[in-house]
Amino acid sequence: MFNANKKNKKLYYELIQQLYYGKLLSSVELSTRLNKSNPLITKALNFLIDNGFVVEQGYAPSSGGRRPLMYALNAVKRCIVTVAMDQLSTRIGIVDLLNNKITPVEIKSLRLLNNPAALEELTQIISFHIANSGIAKELILGIGIGMPGFVNVNEGINLTYLHAGDKKLTTYLSDATGISVFIDNDSSLIALTELKFGLAKDIKNAMVINLSWGIGLGMIIDGQLFRGDRGFAGEFSHIPLTENGKICACGKQGCLESEASLLSVTEKAIEEIKAGKKTSMIYDKGATLLEAGDALMDVANDGDQFAIGLIAESAYKIGRGLSILIHIMNPKAIIISGRGVKIGELLLAPIHQALNKYCIPRLAKGTDIMISKIGFEAELIGAAILVIESISKDPLS
C-alpha cells in the first residue's frame, strides 16, 4: 500500500490504526500513544496527508494554551469488506475507514455443518458483493471474516469448517478474490469490538458472551484479547452441564451449546409446536431455522409465555455456566453480545437466579452482567478491526 522502507511503513500503519480507534487526535497525542518523538510523528503524518490517507481537521478547542492541530483518517481513501458468519447464515458489507457502511449489509443463507460446498458458496458471496458494489479492488484494504469453529489466526485455517485442501483458507480466498483476506473466530472478533469500541473499552478484565446459534466466548484479560496457547481459548459452549443431555456437534453429550444455544431453543420450540403447544409463534414447515429463531425471539419480546419460558430455561443454564467462569476468571464484567441481544432483557433475571444458586456471593456481586449496546453488529465491526490490525503483517500490502 505504501512505497516506503520497512521501518517507515510500520510507522504509517501504526498511525492509521491509532486514528482508526481514536477518530480525532493531535500529533502530541499520537506521539504519546506510540512513544515516538513529535517531529517524527509530524513527518509521518505529512507523508500520509500527501498520499491522501490522513486529513487535517482544524484545531482543538482552546484550553488556555496553543491549540493543537487535529488529524483524522480520510475515510474514503480505502474501504474494507466485512464478513460475519455463523452456522446458518453469512452477512457481508463494505465499510469505509470510519466504519460507515458503503454498501448495505447482505444476509445470505449458508449452512456450514455437513456442507462440502460451503467454501465455494462463501467465495461466490464475497466475489458477487464486491463486483456488485462497483468498487475497484485496489481500493479495498482487505477482507475480514469472522467465523465459528477452531480458527488458527496465525496459520489462516479453520479446523472445524471451510477446509481448503492443501491451501490455507486465507490463501484460497485471497487467490480467488485477488484481495488480502484475514480470518478469526467470531466470538474473538465480537470481544475485540467490545474492547475497542464497546462496553469493555474501559474494563481491564471482561468476558464477552457471543449468544447465537452457538454460545461463544471472547476473553479480555488485563486489557488484551486472550487467545490461549494455540488460539483456541474461550470454548465456553462445550462446558458439560449434564451427562444425560443431547449429543453436541462436537461429539460430547450435554454441552452448554446443545442445551442452551439459540439453535437448541429454536429446535425445541419447533418440536413442541408440532406436538400442539399453544403459542403465538407461527411456524411454517417451509421456514428455515434462522427464520424460526427470529420468530421465537420476536414473540418472546411481545410477551408470549411459551417463548419466554424456553428462553428463561436457556438463560438459567447459561447462568450456571457463567458461574464457572466467574469462579475461575473473577471478571469485572460479563457482556452478553451477538444475535441474542435481541432478547437481552429477558436473559438477565434467570441468569442472576442461576448465579445466586451456583456462585459464591462475594464473587457474583463483584461481576456486572451487561447487555452489549453494539450487539449484532459487533462481528461485522470486528471483521473491519481485524483488517486494520493485520494489514501491517500482510505481505500483499
pLDDT at 63: 66
User: Where exactly are the structural domains of the chain?
Assistant: 6-73, 79-189+379-393, 203-373
Question: Whole-structure pTM over 0.85, yes or no?
Answer: yes
Cα 299–Cα 300–Cα 303 angle in degrees, nearest 5: 90
Residue 123: Cβ-neighbour burial (10 angstroms; 0-12, 13-18, 19+): middle
**Residues whose CB is less than 8 angstroms from the CB of residue 388 and which lie 6 or more positions away in sequence, other chains included:** 16, 17, 20, 80, 141
pLDDT at 290: 87
Do 203-373 and 6-73 have the same topology in CATH? no
Which ranges of the chain have pLDDT less than 50? 395-397
Whole-number Å distance between alpha carbons of 197 and 80: 17
pLDDT at 64: 65
pLDDT at 287: 82
What letter would DSSP give residue 285?
Answer: T
Helix (H, G, I), strand (E, B) or coil at 157: strand
CATH number 3.90.110.10 is the correct assignment for the domain at 6-73: no
Q: The domain 203-373: what is its CATH number?
A: 3.30.420.40
Q: Which is nearest to 261 in space by CA: 310, 324, 307?
A: 310
Q: Which CATH class is domain 79-189+379-393?
A: alpha beta
**Residues whose CB is less than 8 angstroms from the CB of residue 57 and which lie 6 or more positions away in sequence, other chains included:** 24, 70, 71, 72
What letter would DSSP give residue 159?
Answer: S
pLDDT tens profile 142-151: 999 999 998 9
Cα 353–Cα 227–Cα 236 angle in degrees, nearest 5: 30
